[in-house]
Structure 1
């Protein structure tokens, strides 16, 4: 990507989109346009001079088409999505599959019509079968049933991968994807029910410490294992993939039937119990941890095989404890905003 070319970040208000913008600015990109829908994200120092925020309803096909006609971006990062944890996925399954299918279809097809040079689709490790071999390789996609609690969201993300793949095959586009593991970091959703496990735990332990609660209850047995990736590492990996030389991109991601996506993670996981204990220690909570085995654990284990991306030359750099500390510091600094999630 040339640093003067226009870059479109779809979903710049979210945790992922904001991290992508930070990474682009840090690497000297000067012409960034980001879409927002319901909220305006706080801009880091120096970001405002290099990007514009454009109100855009990504569910509106004609609005998206009009945006592409006006802006003519050279490259697209598709970070916009409806996301949430187990509770949100169980409560709003129709919304999760419908909105994600529509958003990504509008953005991908519009990019094709506009002649975008490269597009990167942000997926999720939930695309893999519930009982996939561990660690999960890209080739494990579509080899077994999905985890029921987030199946609608996972199906939408799988459709996004296959949409990119199909456009590459039929039209010769250069649309690729990254599948990050569980993300966390600045700008996360800290809602006590609708957020993912790490930010939900961080807020719960923070409030328990404030209220001097004697105990905190955590969903599940605590035995499920999860891998966590700081969102700034995800952004760095995404830019790395988008900047791959043409020959490497063609060989690794555009040569069907090879997968058009790569896993992005740390290659290490922890139990939910270990995660909860780390969050409690970071926050300074000294009470008792109770695990409610009547609540679902979800997939027993989700660990990505990141050897493909490692072989290309990228590895994660932010450790889990360091990442949780920096995320908690962001939460404390932006507590009013974080509680709106």
Structure 2
């Protein structure tokens, strides 16, 4: 681990000023960043500790949505009455992630910024990793790529985004609020994470020095029918090979609205609004669910070891939608 300075700001504005220094990084719970630093995959010259800033509140918004402070712990958000009652999909996704010990440390803002769990990114013995060393190549393309992306990848990177929480947030059409040197702005979850393109070292649209302050969830009708399905190699504390966030607003047997996103298959949570649109205005019949699955997986390009993900994801989408429809929450 490299030498670094440590700063503890007294306010959000002070944190943003401190992080404007080259090489600075924010640290909240530290559940991902510290691992990266220990392994040599990250080497910030300054850590700006934002864990004590007053950004951990969870409150109702005037329009009926909910705002979650960036420093709220994953465990606190998962168990908050507003989240459990109005956004059970998010509660399920949070509880599917990591272990209770990590959820008690990890923050909501930090979860948004998790780096990939690609073997070649974490292991600095491999020189080829465009995410870690831009321009060096992608060892996963010709290496062991069982856990890697089948959607939205590029010749520069086939890594996947690891978060469960972010898959649910993408499905629920959340908005990420940030503050930086240029002021405050809001970024939709659909756009917050980037596809790799030819700049895989940049995971999000955050500009240097920008701090995540909150996550806004819009009002929705997904309180009663929601299911987060996570398929992994072992039952706990493992990242998803494929995951599905599915929530439905069903009235009189017809889907009025749908939320649908995939995890474990791309560099970002994978949401295609057209797949949701294929469900709306129709009964949830097998052919309708299959059409939505086909739209979500359109353009999939598996690699030498992960071709199984495409049929697995197709079956998982149908299973998650059926489970969401069959589950009546809040009764």
Q: TM-score range by the shorter chain?
A: under 0.3
Q: Which has the higher helix share?
A: 1
Q: TM-score, length-normalised on structure 1?
A: 0.26
